[in-house]
Amino acid sequence: MIDVDDLKEAILEMANEDWYGLYEVIWHMNKVQPDISQATKIEAARSAIYSLLRAGQIHLGLLEWPKGGPPVSLPDSD
C-alpha cells in the first residue's frame, strides 16, 4: 500500500529542487515500491498531486522540450 503522506513529502522534496515532470512521481514510486501495480501508483500520484495543488504547495507548469525556454506556470483550475 502506498502512504500518500510519504508520497506528498517526496513530491515536495522534488519540487523544492527544481521543475519535475509528472512522470517522475511514478518513476520515484517505481524505485521505492516496485511491486505495486501501475494503476495504484497513478491513483496515489493523482491524489497526492491534487492535494498539494489545492493546498497551494506546488504549481503545475508547461515546458516545451526540446525548444527550451523557462517553464510556464499553468493557471489555477479544478
pLDDT in tens, 6-30: 999 999 999 888 888 888 999 999 9
Look at the chain and report how many structural domains it folds into: 1
Tell me, yes or no, whether 78 lies in a domain.
Answer: no
Tell me, yes or no, whether 25 lies in a domain.
Answer: yes
Q: Give Cα 6 distance to the centre of its chain.
A: 13
Tell me, yes or no, whether 21 lies in a domain.
Answer: yes
Q: How far apart are CA 19 and CA 60, in angstroms?
A: 9
pTM confidence score: 0.79
Percent of the chain predicted with pLDDT > 90: 60
Domain containing 28: what range?
4-73
- Output the CA angle 49-45-38, nearest 5 degrees: 165
Using DSSP's 3-state secondary structure scheme, residue 61 falls into strand
